[in-house]
Amino acid sequence: MFWRRKPAKEQNPGGEPEPAGEPEPAGEPGSAGEPQTEGGAADEGGVIPEPDTEPTVSPDTAADESESESDLPPWEPPADADHDLEPTVEPPGELAAQDEDGVLATAEPPADLSAGLEKSRGGFMARLRGILGGAGASGPSWEEVEETLIGGDVGAVLSTDLVERARRRRDTGNSEEAVRAELAALLVPRDGVWAPGPAATGQPAVILVVGVNGTGKTTTIGKLAWRYRNDGRTVLLAAADTFRAAAIEQLEHWAQRAGVTVVAHAPGADPGAVVYDSLDAAVARRIDLVIADTAGRLHTKVNLMDELAKIRRIVDKRLPGAQPETLFVLDATTGQNGLAQAKAFHDAVGLTGIVLTKLDSTSKGGIVFAIEDALKVPVRFVGVGEKVGDLVPFDPDEFVAALFA
């Protein structure tokens, strides 16, 4: 089910319509000045028009309304809230196909990390293995090894340090094993399989998804929702990217495809209010997981980074003691530029994980080592394709083995 902010004319009958809400200060295109709608402008009265297309009901509520909805308490916004919401429903579309048991169909097989790394394995790793494997009695050309690592987005300083440590190793049989061991040592240790969890009984787990526009942030949210719903969790999406044109509609599309609920206000609304209402709805309806989309901001925009910190405080206010996961979505093809973005976000809001997208599209997989070594933040998932199931949990040992396969 989709929850939408009521049109302004319904909130203030008989009077002048009021804007849905003042946006936070913005420093990127489409966010400064007047709130932007999908068409890019408000009408002559300064009122933000509602989108032409109505949101649709999610498959999980449509297919099993009598069983799944009847035992859940209805959610209504607080009586003193100025952001009243109403549900709008219509039949689910083709993307939300369900099987006979009412469960979202999973037509494609699970994604394979090794297959997704084909370009990296055939790119800088093929050159690296050729240098290390073709070395004579005197050993490989360590200068070439260093240059190859730099070319694979490991980074200049880190590549130099790694080569020096590999040359000094005495516990490996050959130079390839030494380099492989040093690369594996750069990855952050994990404690079992990671999964987001609530801070207290009765609270939903919360994931804040941050990143720059164009990295695959909204797509990642949809894939995460699909994954956790198929694991048996109830999931709610918070459409808190209210500045970018069509961001809400894109998230609603993915919510329908994943079979989950989404809470959305009008374009240009306060992102913090969206998150607060989403948490309210999740608590009332006993939702397991809330995934919040946030504005795709440039890491150089201080006021927009401050807005992220504000959203984090709102989570703390609504769910005292909550420990939300903050996942940064990084496009693997951006290389060292992406690392600079990740550092800025980590300084601003404290990242707890990285989602590396488009890893199957680049021959430079070394950015994984650079990020984890620089931030000490683990990569949680990697995107290795465009299908809904092509977001796989990151396993350090499997990753290194696949690169050297």
Same domain, 238 and 146: no
Same domain, 253 and 161: no
Per-residue pLDDT band for 38 (boundaries 50, 70, 90) equals very low
Give the torsion sign (CA, 123, 126, 128, 134): negative
Cβ neighbors of 355 (< 8 A, separation 6 or more) are 209, 220, 327, 328, 329, 330, 379, 380, 381, 382, 383, 391
- Whether 271 has a pLDDT exceeding 60, the answer reads yes
- In this prediction, residue 1 carries a pLDDT of 54
- In this prediction, residue 137 carries a pLDDT of 59
Residues in the chain, overall count: 405
Q: What share of the chain is helix, strand, coil (3-state, %, to 5)?
A: 40, 15, 45
Residue 1 lies in a domain: no
- In this prediction, residue 363 carries a pLDDT of 65
Mean pLDDT within 313-339: 89
Same domain, 164 and 301: no
Which runs of consecutive H residues, i.e. helices, occur in 153-216?
156-168, 175-185
Same domain, 161 and 221: no
Mean pLDDT within 146-171: 91
User: Taking CA 129 as the corner, what is the angle to CA 126 and CA 131, rounded to the nearest 5 degrees?
Assistant: 110
Q: Range of 314's domain? A: 205-404
- In this prediction, residue 20 carries a pLDDT of 43
pLDDT digits (tens, 9 = 90+) for 284-321: 999 999 999 998 765 556 677 778 888 989 999 999 88
Tokens 């465009």 belong to residue: 386
Cβ neighbors of 96 (< 8 A, separation 6 or more) are 58, 59, 62, 104, 256, 257, 259
The torsion angles phi and psi of 114, rounded to 5 degrees, stand at -60, -45
Two tokens, residue 81: 């809230």
Report the range out of 169-173, 272-276, 293-297, 344-348 with the highest average pLDDT: 272-276
Per-residue pLDDT band for 402 (boundaries 50, 70, 90) equals confident
DSSP label of 389:
T
Same domain, 272 and 375: yes
Same domain, 279 and 172: no
Q: How far does CA 125 lie from the centroid of its chain? A: 28
Same domain, 242 and 383: yes
- In this prediction, residue 138 carries a pLDDT of 66
Which runs of consecutive H residues, i.e. helices, occur in 27-85?
59-63
The torsion angles phi and psi of 290, rounded to 5 degrees, stand at -110, 125
Q: Is 60 exposed, middle or buried (0-12, 13-18, 19+ CB in 10 A)?
A: buried
- In this prediction, residue 147 carries a pLDDT of 93
Residue 90 lies in a domain: no
Residue 157 lies in a domain: yes
Q: Which residue has the higher pLDDT, 54 or 154?
A: 154
Cβ neighbours around 49 below 10 Å, total: 15
Same domain, 302 and 391: yes
What total number of domains does the chain contain? 2
Between the alpha carbon of residue 309 and those of residues 85, 329, 343, 396, the distances in Å are 25, 17, 15, 30
Same domain, 234 and 149: no
Separation between Cα atoms, residue 129 and residue 373, nearest integer Å:
22
Residue 390 lies in a domain: yes
Percentage of the chain exceeding pLDDT 70: 69
- In this prediction, residue 302 carries a pLDDT of 63
- Whether 40 has a pLDDT exceeding 90, the answer reads no
Residue 41 lies in a domain: no
- Whether 55 has a pLDDT exceeding 60, the answer reads no
- In this prediction, residue 158 carries a pLDDT of 94
Same domain, 173 and 296: no
Residue 69 lies in a domain: no
- Whether 32 has a pLDDT exceeding 80, the answer reads no
Per-residue pLDDT band for 193 (boundaries 50, 70, 90) equals confident
- In this prediction, residue 136 carries a pLDDT of 61
pLDDT digits (tens, 9 = 90+) for 99-142: 333 344 444 455 667 777 777 777 788 888 888 876 665 678 89
Residue 58 lies in a domain: no
Separation between Cα atoms, residue 34 and residue 42, nearest integer Å:
7
Same domain, 259 and 381: yes
Residue 374 lies in a domain: yes
What CATH number is given to the structural domain containing 294? 3.40.50.300
Q: How far does CA 337 lie from the centroid of its chain? A: 18
Cβ neighbors of 160 (< 8 A, separation 6 or more) are 146
Same domain, 329 and 379: yes
